[in-house]
Structure 1
Amino acid sequence: MRNRLVPSILLAAVCGFVWQIAYAGPILTLALVPLVLVQQGRRSLGRAQARFAVALAYYLAGSHGIPLAAAVFFGPGDHWIEGVVLWLASSALLASGWAFVDKAWKAAAVMLFDALMPPMAFFDWISPLTASGVLFPDWGLFGVAALLVGISVAPWLHQKRALVFLPILPIVWNLVYLSIPMHPNIGAPRYPQKSLVIQSMNLHLGPSTHSILENFNRLRSWVATADQHKKAQVLLLPETLLTWWPGNAHYIEQHVPQGQTWLVGASIPLKQPGLFADGIEEVTDHGSRMVFASVLPVPVSMWRPWHTPTGDSFGRMDYKAFWWQKPVRTDGKSMMAEICYDQLLPFSWLEVALYRPDTVLLTSNVWWAKGTGAPQIQRASAWAWSRLSGSTDIEAENA
């Protein structure tokens, strides 16, 4: 077993790490399945430990940027310790189910369980389920079902081809068997013809500060930049550019050109004092309304259901999780949004796969994630899942 365990751990770590390299992560992620299944030994406990170790290596390598990101995102203080705890705990949590995967159908069950069941679903980065978008573009939920069924029945169909489960041949196993029902246009997702002209705007503003004057100058700066995009019918701006207090809302509404719509990422106050939505406001020259809200804002930092909101707009705000989103139709076309952390979560993308909107809006802040690999993982995840739903994705970031 040791002869297989060490190479399997190393290969699993590589498969987790490559999520930060273009789109390699979603393409290679299914290698985790044979790397876990190949573990054998005399004792069942030893086999379970080996399977857990392989999966743990995958998740630790893929999410190794969490400690650094937490140190920046949580603000001043020794928050790197919290980041290390989150990194180790979430990786161990996601790897725990794989300890029981001694058959291929159990691998499919664990993938689905981790994607849908709390608390695993809250941290299910780099899920092998993402490969459904690579292998079955434009299939929607049928693509997810095809992936799970394919994994479950592959050993039965190939029971006389034992080499298929060697760690050195996972790509052959993926592409030869699972490519049979592949969509013929795998090279590209569906790009619908839209009458809307949506343009995104990337910014380099960094975070808000505790200075009212600096924040107002920051607001004036990005509004002036947005004013220059006259040709866009709809302008998409990044996540949480400001808090949607009445004064800020009025200022923006006064600057939106007639006939144009701005989709502004904002922290939006809710009816419960001190509680906010990480949402998107649809703003025109005659008013605004919240059209999207984050399914799950960043756990522990933004989403803290155990904490009583204080309403301190200059401290750590408390955000509501909205759990389920539906498309919004504009000019006859449907849109959905994946706001920052949502882009990493399979259960959020499964909602997109169900509705299959024409466009998916991707908004985020990445100033806190420099050097962590998180932005690359977000893009790779969004690429694969958008392929699955056949949707066009439009991205706006604040660096």
Structure 2
Amino acid sequence: MRHDLVLPMLLILASILVGAVAWSGHVLLFPIALGFPILWSISRTRTVAAFVASGYFLSASRGLPQGVAAFYSSDIWPGLLLWLCAALGFVVTHSILWTANPINRPFRYLLAAVIMAIPPLGIMGWAHPVTAAGILFPGSGWWGLGFMSAGLASLVTRAWPVVAIALACHWLWSAAVWTDPRLPEGWHGIDLKMGASLGREAGLQRQRDLIAAVRGATGDGARFVVLPESALGFWTRTVERLWKSASGSADATVIAGAAVVDPEGYDNVLVAIDSKGGRILYRERMPVPGSMWQPWRSWLGRVGGARADFFANPVVSIGASRAAPLICYEQLIVWPILQSMLYDPNFVVAVGNGWWTERTSIIAIQRAAAIAWARLFAKPLVLSFNM
């Protein structure tokens, strides 16, 4: 092999390894993602930087093709196409902003990081290295996010070995004293293993099974019980009356995922139900692009698909507290949680329905990302997932 091909090949292989390990679903491994800006910065050409970005992103999101195939009950090709399309924004952004000028490089990388954190490209901003802030600087909030940004900028300078050693030492110290976020007092999140039937099988027996699970939690003293995304299926008056009657005189509130359908499409929501009735608590800001959110339908004069409420309802009121809700896909990207934290909520509620992610690390990554963000801002966390 020619000598001038050795370094590019090593950088590409290293970027694949960094993406695979950092985004394996183990929260304490997120700081390995900081290897990506180093590899990007020491690439000698724009082409190599593009391949480094490709290797990192495709490796980090490797569960997508199989997940899409399971979701649509199809072969692997639609998933591969979506996987490559999702990578395109990340790769193009980091390719265009790559520079051989060491003076401009930190500003270029920070600009790329910001672009991939906010819409429109932030809609596909998975595997963002800034997620590691919650592990390196737990409890430090916006200051920690600033420290993380400064660290990312420093990792693309010539001083990166010194910065990397300092961050690695801080990582080891943080891992040694690490604790997961606590549950808010009186809250309980229920994990289910109902597979693809959750949200699709909406018969009376399924509702009774869910009500029984909630009663078990309230019997243990919980005043607020969280069920996963799509748990109730379609939110209708009949479903509301059933759950209201099941609440009886109990002083407990159920937070559950559901879908609200109208002639134009549907909203992926969280509803709050107590003895007084039910209400829509939260409308998902960013449903899964492609499978749920399909904006091209309206461009073609067609209806259907989930609506994206983007910057609506970043926090919701539940009792005397305010929560930052995150449904499924919102846990994989940056701007929903940061928008919510601008309003200083009391805790985070993260739900998902990941039956289609079987044999992938997607659910583990979602949970780990929610934990990392909750620790960064020192917020209690409620998790509820279906698998």
Tell me the TM-score range normalised by the shorter chain.
0.7 to 0.9
**Residue 17 of structure 2 corresponds to which residue in structure 1?**
14
CA RMSD of aligned residues (A): 2.9
Name the residue aligned to 2:230.
Answer: 240
> What stretches of structure 1 of length at least 5 have no aligned partner?
41-46, 310-315
Question: Residue 275 of structure 2 aligns to which amino acid in structure 1?
Answer: D
- Of 136-145 and 377-386, more deviation after overlay is shown by 136-145
Correspondence for 1:39 among 36, 39, 43: 43
Report the identity percentage.
23
For 1:244 and 1:281, the matched residues in 2 are separated by 8
Task: Determine the C-alpha separation between the residues in 2 that align with 1:209 and 1:174.
Answer: 42
2:240 corresponds to 1:252 = no
1:63 CA drift (Å): 0.8
Matches within 5 A, 1:1-399: 1-18=4-21, 19-40=23-44, 47-73=45-71, 75-78=72-75, 80-99=76-95, 100-102=97-99, 103-118=105-120, 120-153=121-154, 159=158, 161=159, 164-165=160-161, 171-172=164-165, 174-175=167-168, 187-188=178-179, 196-208=185-197, 215-229=203-217, 230=219, 231-241=221-231, 242-257=233-248, 258-269=250-261, 272-307=262-297, 318-324=305-311, 325-399=313-387
SS in 1 for 2:322: strand
Q: CA deviation at 1:251?
A: 0.9
Deviations 1:279-323 (A, max 9, x none): 1111001111111121111111111122259xxxxxx96211111
SS at match of 1:291: strand
CA drift at 1:383? 1.7
Aligned residue pair count:
368
How big is the shift at 1:187? 3.3
- Per the alignment, in what secondary structure is the counterpart of residue 9 of structure 1? helix
Deviation at 1:84, TM superposition (A): 0.6
Contact 1:140 1:356 in 2 (8 A): no
1: CA distance, partners of 2:113 / 2:351: 26
The answer to whether the 8 Å contact 2:191/2:384 transfers is: yes
Offset at 1:211?
Answer: 8.2
d(CA) in 2 for partners of 1:255 and 1:198? 19
**TM-score (normalised: structure 2):** 0.86
Q: How high is the TM-score relative to the length of structure 1?
A: 0.84
Q: Secondary structure at the match of 1:133?
A: helix
Q: Is the 8 A contact 2:28 2:135 kept in 1?
A: no
Kindly report structure 1 stretches of 4+ aligned residues shifted beyond 6 Å: 209-212
How far apart, CA to CA, are the structure 2 residues paired with 1:273 and 1:391? 38
1:273: Cα distance to partner? 2.2
Alignment correspondent of 1:313: none
Ranges in structure 2 where 5+ consecutive residues have no aligned partner: 100-104
Cα gap change, 1:226/1:50 in structure 2, threshold over 3 Å: closer, same or farther? Answer: same
